[in-house]
């Protein structure tokens, strides 16, 4: 009797677990950041263009405000970016402490009034990226901005060397001081005379080059006839 019971117990099939539909856990794969796809996305360039335009407008307004409020904000803006955390003293710049600090750096420390050319660069870059076509030449503007920053800052620093306002900025004053020390002092009238002479010389060179090219074209036309 006992053997029969053992056989019956052995012959009974094993029960399946109740949760037979549960799938094994598989870790999710980490998606890689596709930088090429982001760079090809049109929205990326529009965002960069919009930021560049806003930066151009921000700098232009803060620079214009600095022309009228530089005396009031000089003590605060000279602290650098630490002035952003100092809320005890008010600032007169239209764009607040950040505008006062940025305009102080570019106009007083760097290139003076020539810093307005930097606004044109960000404007040109922003327009081209926003419309996704070549509205303005970025490289040509960059060339003019680079040349203008040096020439204008040095010229303004030399002409207005006795002014309290930093017309040429720190860079212009430094280069102008080096040039004056090397060549000696010149009166503003003499500087203007030499500048006009250089301009006239450049115009004459362009005129001679134009006449030379026109003469070559006439020679080619005569040979063709």
pLDDT per position as a tens digit, 54-90: 999 999 999 999 999 998 888 888 888 888 887 778 8
Q: How far apart are CA 145 and CA 137, in angstroms?
A: 12
* pLDDT value of position 191: 58
Higher pLDDT, 209 or 96: 96
Q: Are 142 and 121 in contact (CB under 8 A)?
A: yes
Higher pLDDT, 212 or 144: 144
Instruction: Please report, for residues 65, 112, 164, 175, the alpha-carbon distance to residue 168 in angstroms, rounded to integers and kept in the order given.
Output: 17, 4, 11, 10
Convert the pLDDT of each residue in 12-55 to its tens digit. 555 555 555 555 656 666 667 666 777 677 788 889 999 999 99
166-180: buried (b, 16+ CB within 10 Å) or exposed (e) per residue?
bbbbbbbbebbeeee
* pLDDT value of position 18: 54
Q: How far apart are CA 83 and CA 38, in angstroms?
A: 36
Please name the residues in contact with 127: beta carbons below 8 A apart, sequence gap of 6 or more. Answer: 49, 53, 135, 136
Convert the pLDDT of each residue in 155-198 to its tens digit. 899 889 888 899 999 998 998 888 877 766 555 555 555 565 56
């Amino acid at each position: 009797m006992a053997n029969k019971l053992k056989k019956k117990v052995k012959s009974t099939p094993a029960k399946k677990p109740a949760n037979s539909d549960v799938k094994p856990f598989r870790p999710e794969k980490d998606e890689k950041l596709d930088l090429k796809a982001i760079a090809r996305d049109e929205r990326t360039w529009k965002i960069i263009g919009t930021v560049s335009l806003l930066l151009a407008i921000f700098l232009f307004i803060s620079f214009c405000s600095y022309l009228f409020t530089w005396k009031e904000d000089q003590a605060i803006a000279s602290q650098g970016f630490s002035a952003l955390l100092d809320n005890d003293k008010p600032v007169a710049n239209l764009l607040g402490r950040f505008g006062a600090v940025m305009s102080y750096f570019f106009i007083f420390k760097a290139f003076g009034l020539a810093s307005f050319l930097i606004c044109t660069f960000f404007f040109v870059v922003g327009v081209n990226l926003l419309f996704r076509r070549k509205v303005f030449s970025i490289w040509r503007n960059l060339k003019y901005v680079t040349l203008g920053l040096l020439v204008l800052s040095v010229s303004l620093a030399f002409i207005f060397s006795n002014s309290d306002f930093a017309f040429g900025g720190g860079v212009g004053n430094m280069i102008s001081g080096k040039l004056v020390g090397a060549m000696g002092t010149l009166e503003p009238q003499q500087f203007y005379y030499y500048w006009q002479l250089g301009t006239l010389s450049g115009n004459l060179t362009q005129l001679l080059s134009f006449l030379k090219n026109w003469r070559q074209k006439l020679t080619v036309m005569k040979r063709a006839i």
